[in-house]
Structure 1
Amino acid sequence: MMDTEEEDFKSRLAPDVTPNRQLPWLTGIELLSDTNQNKHFLPTGLEGIDALLGGGLRQGQVTEIAGPSSSGKTQVCLSSATHVVDRNFGMVLYLDTSNSFSPFRISCFVNQLHPSLPKELKETSLQTIMSNIYCQSVFDIFALLDLLHHVETTLKHTVKLGGSKLCLLIVDSVSSVIAPVIGGKNSQGWCMMASVGVLLKRIAYEHNIAVLVTNHMVGGENGTLKPALGESWKGIPHIRLLLSHGTGNNHGTTTVLKHTLMVSMHLDHHEIWSKWVVFFSVLEHSSVTGRVLYVAGDSFAYRTHASDTN
Structure 2
Amino acid sequence: MAAKRWIDGDETAAEMLSRVSSERPFLLLPPLHRVPLRVGNVVELAGPSSSAKTQILIQAAVNCILPKEWNGVHYGGLERLVMFIDLDCRFDVTRLSEMLKHRIMEPIGSMYDHEELYAACMSRFLYVRCYDSLEFLATLKTLHHRLKREKKMHNLNMQLLMIDSIGPFQWVDRGSTFFPLGSHNRKCLSLQSISETVVQEIKKLLLLHPLIVIATKEIVLDNVYGMDEAKQNNYMLEESGGRSITSSTQRLPYREFMPPIWQSFITHKILVRASDDLLPIRLDQEHSLYFSEWLLPSLSFQDKFVVKDAGIFIVS
Superposition TM-score, scaled by structure 1 size: 0.66
SS for the counterpart of 2:300 is: coil
Q: Which amino acid aligns with 1:52?
A: R
Which structure 1 residue ranges, 5 or more long, are not aligned? 1-36, 260-268, 283-291, 295-300, 305-310
Task: Indicate yes or no: 2:27 matched with 1:42.
Answer: yes
Task: Indicate yes or no: 2:58 matched with 1:78.
Answer: yes
Q: CA deviation at 1:254?
A: 0.8
1:39–1:129 distance in 2 versus 1, CA, 3 Å: closer
The RMSD of aligned alpha carbons is 3.2
- Identical counterparts, % of pairs: 19
Q: 2:62 & 2:157 partners in 1: Cα distance? A: 15
Q: Which amino acid aligns with 1:277?
A: F
Q: Which amino acid aligns with 2:48?
A: P
Q: Which amino acid aligns with 1:84?
A: C
Q: CA deviation at 1:71?
A: 0.3
1:217–1:183 distance in 2 versus 1, CA, 3 Å: farther
2:226 corresponding residue in structure 1: none
SS for the counterpart of 2:79 is: coil
Q: 1:273 & 1:172 partners in 2: Cα distance? A: 23
For residues 129-188 of structure 1, the C-alpha deviation after alignment (integer angstroms, 9 at most, x for no partner) is: 111101111111111111111112445x66825323222111111211344213599982
1:107–1:159 distance in 2 versus 1, CA, 3 Å: closer
2:34 corresponding residue in structure 1: 52
Which structure 2 residue ranges, 5 or more long, are not aligned? 1-19, 67-76, 178-187, 223-234, 240-252, 279-287
Q: 1:101 & 1:159 partners in 2: Cα distance? A: 22
Q: 1:101 & 1:210 partners in 2: Cα distance? A: 20
SS for the counterpart of 1:229 is: coil
Q: 1:232 & 1:110 partners in 2: Cα distance? A: 36
SS for the counterpart of 1:71 is: coil
SS for the counterpart of 2:151 is: coil
Q: CA deviation at 1:90?
A: 1.2
SS for the counterpart of 1:50 is: coil
Q: CA deviation at 1:118?
A: 2.9
Task: Indicate yes or no: 2:314 matched with 1:246.
Answer: no
Q: Which amino acid aligns with 1:252?
A: Y
Q: CA deviation at 1:273?
A: 5.2
Q: 2:43 & 2:292 partners in 1: Cα distance? A: 14
Aligned mate of 1:258, from 290, 296, 311: 296
Q: 2:86 & 2:40 partners in 1: Cα distance? A: 21
1:184–1:233 distance in 2 versus 1, CA, 3 Å: farther
Aligned mate of 1:110, from 100, 110, 119: 100
Q: 1:154 & 1:177 partners in 2: Cα distance? A: 24
Q: CA deviation at 1:66?
A: 0.8
Q: CA deviation at 1:237?
A: 1.1
Q: Is the contact between residue 39 and residue 60 of structure 1 (CA under 8 Å) also seen in structure 2?
A: no
Task: Indicate yes or no: 2:161 matched with 1:169.
Answer: yes
Q: Which amino acid aligns with 2:40?
A: G
Q: Which amino acid aligns with 1:195?
A: T
Q: 2:299 & 2:165 partners in 1: Cα distance? A: 30
Q: CA deviation at 1:211?
A: 1.0
Q: Is the contact between residue 176 and residue 190 of structure 2 (CA under 8 Å) also seen in structure 1?
A: no
Q: Which amino acid aligns with 2:60?
A: S
Q: 1:211 & 1:65 partners in 2: Cα distance? A: 11
Q: 2:112 & 2:24 partners in 1: Cα distance? A: 36
Structure 2 matches for 1:188-227, cutoff 5 A? 188-218=190-220, 225-227=254-256
Q: Which amino acid aligns with 1:204?
A: L
Task: Indicate yes or no: 2:137 matched with 1:145.
Answer: yes
Q: 1:194 & 1:174 partners in 2: Cα distance? A: 13
Q: Which amino acid aligns with 1:51?
A: H
- Structure with higher Rg: it is 2
Report the number of matched residues: 237
